[in-house]
Amino acid sequence: MTRQRRIILDALESVRTHPTAEDIYRMVRPRLQRLSLATVYRNLEVLCEQGLARKIETAGTTRRYDGDASEHYHVRCLGCGAIGDVRKAPVSVSRTGLARATDFQIVGHRLEFLGYCPSCKGRRRRGARDAPARRRSGGGDV
């Protein structure tokens, strides 16, 4: 556990914004002026392997990381790309139904919600059009 690793983990755990590697790089830069982005990536990888962090790979967007490694789902804002937490999501999947619907052996699933964050929600209510997506298009896929 190097100085860099500890500081990166601290930064990640100190926010609830699900930052990208770049975000974290900028967050810790003041404390580690000689830091390289590659080191951020490598350490995030290690921290995920150790179960101290989680990758959030929402399709078609830049990868984000979560310092809260507990079980929960995420919701992505279609307005601004922000990621929010969804705790205790009321989702049920029938195992036996699944076995009938595919010849794959299912061992898990990934679920991501799409919606609007509180601030984009307000903006929509007031009639403005969507803010441009912060990263990539993100639209139109299944």
Residue 109 contacts which entry, DNA, its own copies, none (Cβ below 5-8 A, type-dependent): its own copies
**Tokens, residue 77:** 């804002």
Residue 75 contacts which entry, DNA, its own copies, none (Cβ below 5-8 A, type-dependent): its own copies
Asked if 17 contacts 23 with a C-beta cutoff of 8 angstroms, the reply is: yes
> Which residues bind to DNA, rule: CB under 7 A?
1-5, 20-22, 32, 34-39, 41-43, 45-46, 62-63, 135-137
- The reply on whether position 90 binds its own copies by CB under 8 A is yes
Cα dihedral 22, 24, 28, 29 in deg (nearest 10) = 10
- The reply on whether position 129 binds its own copies by CB under 8 A is no
- The reply on whether position 38 binds its own copies by CB under 8 A is no
Closest contact distance (angstroms) between CB of 94 and its own copies is: 4
> Within a 10 A sphere around the Cβ of 65, how many other Cβ atoms?
21
- The reply on whether position 98 binds its own copies by CB under 8 A is yes
In b/e form, how buried is each residue of 69-105, taking b as 16+ CB within 10 angstroms?
A: eeeeebbbbbbbbbbbeeeeeeeeeeeeeeeeeeeee
Residue 20 neighbours by CB under 8 Å, 6+ apart: 62, 63, 64, 65
Closest contact distance (angstroms) between CB of 54 and DNA is: 14
Which residue of 34, 109, 126, 129 would you call a contact of its own copies, by CB under 8 A? 109
Residues that bind its own copies (CB under 8 A): 48-49, 54-60, 63, 66, 73-75, 77-78, 84-94, 96-98, 101-118, 121, 140-142
